[in-house]
Each structure stands twice: as structure tokens, then as C-alpha cells.
């Protein structure tokens, strides 16, 4: 059976790896991001099993329209990955209330809006995965907005797992305890030991494992980190 997935927050790195992995496993994938150029290029490369849907996930009406676009292309949604996050990398004294709110809107409110749309399609079960971070379990100094937003996302995932599990919907939260190996990071740090970075393709393998898990052994939280750590 072909499944339809939505990845909310696609960019070079993990979002792209997730799209490729899910398509390799036979899924049809809706790609959500605010950037139109990159999204269209990626969709064209991935072929007819992908559809680019430029979306501001903080906008309730736009999220509803985006899910309708995916349904029109591929049918009801079976899998959602809440991958988008926003942050002003500032501490308490420097961050503005607007910047703090925007971090929450992208990470938490965006995930709420996308989850509400996806769950409406999951009468026969489904999977919702949240991308978390070290800051979801341990607040990061100088990143008060990002940390607060990631804590909120983790709480949402735990609450939704208990609410939706009896309905056959698997909700999981993935703590990415390290930096992801992306083109931008390699350009900024060309001498960085790649063994100290999370491989996005391997992370995508772990996400797919969550989709495939039997309901008798569902994972609520998965913690991924590189064997080599740089501080």
C-alpha cells in the first residue's frame, strides 16, 4: 500500500534525506517549506512521487490549504514529520518578545497546526514524528527562545502520544543530540571531523524504523548522537 507523507520543514540536510528515504520506501511525499526555489528544484529531482508545497506553517489557513494540495495530489496523509524549527540565537537580555514568540510559532504552533490536519486523515492509524534537539531536554545557554520552543514540542509529543496511541496513531519524539552534517555546516567548518556529526541519511533510516514499528513496541522518544563528540 502506498503511503502519503508530509515533511514540514524541508531543507538541505535532514529534511531532504527524509524525503529521499520515504520515497525510496514507496511513499508519496508532500514537501513543506517557506523557500520556493529550493523546494521546486528538489521536487523536480525527486519526480512524480513528490510535490512541492511552499508553506508558512505558522499560518492556519495556509497549512489547511497545503494539506489540501497534498490530498489532491496523493490522497489522505498517513505520516507527518514535524521538522521545522525557528530560533533567534540570543539569550534572555538580548531576545525580543517578538523573536521569542516567533521561535515558538514555528516549532510548536506550526507542529500543532500540521498535526491537527494530519490526524484528521488518520482514521486507520498513522505516524507523527517530531524532530527534537538537545535543547528539548537541557536548555542551551544563549538560546532561550529555541530551548523554550523545543521543550514545548517535546511536551506536545508526549501528550499526543498518550491521547492518540489508543487510536492507532504512533507519535514519537526524536532527540538529535548533536549537529547534523549539512552542506552549510561543512562550508563553515571544513576541518570538522565528520564522525562528530550526525549523518542525515542515517537519521532518516531511524525515522523510517519508527514508521515501521509494531504497535506493541512503539518508541515514544528516540535519542540519537554521534559516537565522537566535539565540545
Would you say residue 62 has pLDDT above 80? yes
What average pLDDT score do residues 49-71 get?
Answer: 97
Mean pLDDT of 118-128: 97
Q: What are phi and psi of 117, to 5 degrees?
A: -70, -45
pLDDT tens digit sequence for 131-178: 999 999 998 889 999 999 999 999 999 999 999 999 999 999 999 998
Q: Percentage of the chain surpassing pLDDT 70?
A: 99
193 or 227, which is more confident: 227
Q: Does residue 230 surpass a pLDDT of 80?
A: no
In Å, what is the CA distance from 31 to each residue of 25, 137, 172?
16, 28, 20
Is 70 exceeded by the pLDDT of residue 75?
A: yes
Query: Are 230 and 193 a contacting pair, CB within 8 Å?
Result: yes
Q: What is the pLDDT of residues 7-51, one digit of tens each?
A: 999 999 999 999 999 999 999 999 999 988 999 999 999 999 999
The architecture in CATH of the region 4-224 reads 3-Layer(aba) Sandwich (3.40)
Q: Over the stretch 189-216, which tens digit does the pLDDT of each residue have? A: 777 777 789 999 999 999 999 999 999 9
Q: What end-to-end distance do the CA atoms of the chain give, in Å?
A: 45
pLDDT tier for residue 231 given thresholds of 50, 70 and 90: very low
Q: pLDDT confidence of 188, banded at 50, 70, 90?
A: confident
Secondary structure (DSSP) of 86-155? ------TTT--HHHHHHHHIIIIIHHHHHHHHHHTT-TT-EEEEEEEEGGGTSPPTT-HHHHHHHHHHHH
Q: Does residue 66 carry a pLDDT above 50?
A: yes
Whether 7 and 128 have beta carbons less than 8 Å apart is answered as no
* pLDDT score for 193: 74
Amino acid at each position: 500500500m502506498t503511503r502519503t507523507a508530509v515533511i514540514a520543514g524541508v531543507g538541505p540536510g535532514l529534511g531532504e534525506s527524509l524525503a529521499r528515504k520515504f520515497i525510496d520506501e514507496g511513499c508519496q511525499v508532500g514537501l513543506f517549506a517557506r523557500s520556493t526555489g529550493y523546494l521546486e528544484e528538489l521536487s523536480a529531482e525527486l519526480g512524480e512521487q513528490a510535490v512541492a508545497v511552499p508553506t508558512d506553517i505558522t499560518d492556519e489557513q495556509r497549512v489547511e490549504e497545503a494539506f489540501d494540495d497534498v490530498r489532491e495530489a496523493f490522497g489522505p496523509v498517513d505520516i507527518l514529520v514535524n521538522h521545522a524549527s525557528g530560533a533567534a540565537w540570543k539569550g534572555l537580555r538580548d531576545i525580543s518578545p517578538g523573536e521569542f514568540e516567533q521561535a515558538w510559532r514555528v516549532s510548536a504552533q506550526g507542529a500543532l497546526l500540521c498535526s491537527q490536519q494530519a490526524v484528521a486523515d488518520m482514521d486507520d492509524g498513522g505516524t507523527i514524528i517530531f524532530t527534537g534537539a538537545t535543547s528539548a531536554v537541557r536548555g542551551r545557554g544563549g538560546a532561550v527562545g529555541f530551548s523554550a520552543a523545543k521543550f514545548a514540542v517535546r511536551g506536545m509529543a508526549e501528550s499526543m502520544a498518550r491521547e492518540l496511541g489508543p487510536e492507532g496513531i504512533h507519535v514519537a519524539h526524536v532527540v538529535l543530540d548533536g549537529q547534523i552534517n549539512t552542506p552549510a555546516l561543512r562550508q563553515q567548518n571544513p576541518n570538522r571531523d565528520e564522525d562528530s556529526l550526525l549523518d542525515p541519511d542515517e537519521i532518516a533510516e531511524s525515522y523510517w524504523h519508527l514508521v515501521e514499528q509494531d504497535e506493541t513496541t512503539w518508541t515514544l522518544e528516540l535519542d540519537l548522537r554521534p559516537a565522537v563528540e566535539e565540545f
